[in-house]
Structure 1
Amino acid sequence: MPHPDQPLTNDDDEEPLLSEEDEDLLDWATMTTVYAAGYIRILADAIERGDAELQVDPVAWENTLTAAEGAMVEQMRGRLHGPTAITAEDIERMRRLRELGSAALSGGERSPELGPLALRSMGSLFGPDWQRAAQKAAFCARALNQEFHPRSCT
């Protein structure tokens, strides 16, 4: 057994815990969920404050929330596991949130449904500790947005 300060290694005789494909899927789903929660938090906070600038790039929103829906489908099918059990209603809620957010980001209506829907969607992604997770995710999403879309951030 290795010393506690030594990293765990996988001996050549042992099978990996996850296949490379499953590991890639898990990495993709993790990053998707983090950035989706970040963008959801940023958008919901900006709408709640009444900000003129919603601080999320519309293309990043659309792509990330579409990917989050896909990750939720994979979780519902049993290929992924997360902190909550995803249902078809959770996926439909995320789809509705994506649509309402896209409308708001394109200068359309800022639906009063968006805020409560955002909160329920983050709860679906992270469970009861969604607030802390969403704050950290928003930090990551702002950093990513600044790197790729510097003019869309404040």
Structure 2
Amino acid sequence: MPHPDQPLTNDDDNEEEALLDDEEEALLHWATMTVIYAAGYIRILADAIERGDADLQVDPVAWENTMTAVEEVMAEQIRGRLHGPTPTTVEDVERMQRLRSLGSAALSGGERSLEFCPLALRCMEFLFGQDWKRATREAALCARALNQEFHPRSGT
């Protein structure tokens, strides 16, 4: 490692990359992308519910798959294999499961629970920490692009 006053070189980057093996790197990439898309879908759905939109703008299959995956990320955080911006508790996982259930109900044409938006805010804060507002705006852009690519709406 170079002296703190010396500029970083590409060799220094290779030292950091060697800290993660391929499996750990793949897990970290999967977890990062999962959290980004989950936060994006949560933000999109919460905004649409809050506005009272007829079209909730999230594909139900994408919602279910992504929310199930983010619960798996949270389980990996509890096991200590991953670390997020905030410590993960069993209660956090239970809140995310509740959010997934409420979102699934709304996306299937069922009740749009008043509990959804406050719970969504709490979950987004958990996923991104204190800077969740900016991060989830950007995540929503990614999620919209992914949703459009894999679940295009007819007529758009």
Q: Structure 1-normalised TM-score?
A: 0.91
Deviations 1:25-71 (A, max 9, x none): 00000000000000000000000000000000000000000000000
Alignment equivalent of 2:14, drawn from 10, 13, 16: 10
Partners of 1:153 and 1:137 in 2: CA distance = 25
Q: 1:44 aligns to what?
A: 46
1:132 equivalent in structure 2 = 134
1:1-154 matches, within 5 Å, as 4=8, 6=10, 8-10=12-14, 16-151=18-153
Identity, in percent, stands at 71
From the superposition, tell whether residues 97 and 152 of structure 1 become closer, same or farther in structure 2 (CA, over 3 Å). Answer: farther
Cα distance in 1 for partners of 2:28, 2:154 equals 29
Report the CA distance between 1:105 and its aligned residue: 0.1
Secondary structure at 1:10's aligned position in 2? helix
Is contact 1:74–1:80 with CA below 8 Å preserved after alignment? yes
How far apart in 2 are the matches of 1:20 and 1:153? 42
Give the ranges of 4+ consecutive aligned residues of structure 1 lying more than 6 Å apart after TM superposition.
Answer: none
Cα offsets for 1:84-121 (capped at 9, x unmatched): 11111000000000000000000000000000010000
The aligned length equals 152
Over the aligned positions, Cα root-mean-square deviation in angstroms equals 2.2
DSSP 3-state at the match of 2:85: coil
